[in-house]
């Protein structure tokens, strides 16, 4: 069983839609949860970083962590074509120590 | 913010040759650099962790003699793929934990290197 599971998609939505991206994990020791956006042939860029359970909002992005269910989500409101990318979840036990990545979900926002 | 410059962005080499990939932290000191490889439609797989001035720590299954990592300074880490073979073709990405003064920029990635071995 993989440490982190993520649906690879692709996920195709119309512009303006609310997007929900999810990851599940098996290791209850994970405490730090991150979402990265990766454009084709580029390195990942950090979008959201949360610690333990709860919600965090930053502009159009909201990250949710449910440790009891071992489930994390990233919501994108008012999605834009520029949001089209692969979104990777990542988690670690200690702060910015070894990361475990999901396989990434490819998102396509159609104009 | 913190920037990691990685180059080359892509390289094609012949089987049996060696390829060096460089990662530089441009505006911060990277005491720790992480090297990943990524296959198409797969997640990033950590290959090794390098600390400035010491030997790299390799993940299980990664050949340390094949993937040579050097982290000789606080701003430069290199990955050399020795005697490359077609199965080494992949996307290689470095990452550094960035801290500039009191600002913690977390985990900053380079732009990646696409290696194709023919």
pLDDT-derived band at A36 (thresholds 50, 70, 90) equals very high
Residue A27 has pLDDT above 90, yes or no: yes
pLDDT, residue B106, reads 62
Cβ–Cβ gap B112/A43 under 8 Å: yes
The larger pLDDT score, comparing residue B103 to residue A111, is at A111
For range B83-112, the mean pLDDT? 81
**Contact assignment for B41 to A49 by CB distance below 8 Å:** no
Mean predicted confidence (pLDDT) in B41-65:
89
Mean pLDDT for A48-53 is 86
pLDDT of residue A1: 66
The pLDDT score that the predictor gives to residue B2 is 73
**Confidence class for position B6, pLDDT limits 50, 70, 90:** very high
Cα(A6)–Cα(A45) distance, integer angstroms: 18
Q: What is the largest CA-CA distance in chain B?
A: 46
More confident of the two residues A93 and A60: A60
Q: Which of B9, B97, B109 sits opposite A44 (nearest CB)?
A: B109
Please say if the pLDDT value at position A86 is more than 80: yes
pLDDT band at residue B99, thresholds of 50, 70 and 90? low
Residues 6+ apart with CB under 8 A from B26: B2, B3, B4, B5, B75
Residues of B in Cβ contact (< 8 Å) with A4: 43
């Amino acid at each position: 069983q993989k440490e982190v599971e993520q649906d690879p998609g692709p996920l195709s939505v119309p512009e303006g839609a609310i997007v929900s991206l999810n990851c599940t994990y098996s290791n209850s020791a994970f405490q730090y949860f991150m979402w990265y956006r990766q454009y084709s042939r580029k390195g990942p860029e950090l979008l959201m970083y949360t610690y333990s359970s709860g919600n965090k909002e930053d502009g159009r992005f909201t990250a949710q962590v449910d440790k009891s269910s071992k489930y994390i989500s990233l919501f994108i409101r008012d999605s834009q074509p520029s949001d089209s990318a692969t979104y990777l979840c990542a988690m670690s036990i200690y702060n910015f120590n070894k990361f475990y990545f999901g396989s990434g979900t490819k998102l396509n926002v159609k104009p | 913010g913190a920037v990691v410059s990685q180059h080359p962005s892509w390289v094609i080499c012949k089987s049996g040759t060696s390829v060096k990939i460089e990662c530089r932290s441009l505006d911060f000191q990277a005491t720790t650099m992480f090297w990943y490889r990524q296959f198409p439609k797969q997640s990033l797989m950590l290959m090794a962790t390098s600390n400035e001035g010491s030997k790299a720590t390799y993940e299980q299954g990664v050949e340390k003699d094949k993937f040579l990592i050097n982290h000789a300074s606080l701003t430069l880490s290199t990955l050399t793929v020795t005697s490359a073979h077609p199965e080494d073709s992949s996307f290689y990405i470095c990452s550094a934990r960035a801290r500039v003064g009191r600002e913690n920029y977390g985990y900053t990635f380079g732009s990646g290197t696409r290696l194709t071995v023919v």
